[in-house]
Amino acid sequence: MKEVTEEMCGKHLINKNTEKAGILCRSVLLMEEVYFTNKFFMSLSFDNHSGSPKLYYSKLGGHPIDCLIKMYPESLRSNEIDVIRGIEPELAE
């Protein structure tokens, strides 16, 4: 990893999104690869109809909400959240 970082820093990196001269690389972000055994979906949005925040969730993660609605509608659950009381304990379990 150190060798790759040293090779990149101080050089101009060029790809299809840069100008011809490229962009000067000043730093490199190194991250540890993480493998997930389970993925979940959760989204908080505002429901215009009820005027309340609404929590959407599914055990099928890794998909955008429009795909869940289209392909797996039975997996998507939702609950309105009372702005005064917050999330009810039963929902958090």
Residue ranges covered by each domain of the chain: 1-33, 35-93
Q: Is the pLDDT of residue 36 over 70?
A: yes
**Whether the Cβ atoms of residue 87 and residue 81 lie closer than 8 Å to each other:** yes
Residue 85 is predicted with a pLDDT of 86
> Model-level pTM?
0.55
Q: Which fold has domain 35-93?
A: D-amino Acid Aminotransferase; Chain A, domain 1 (3.30.470)
Residue 44 pairs in a beta bridge with 55
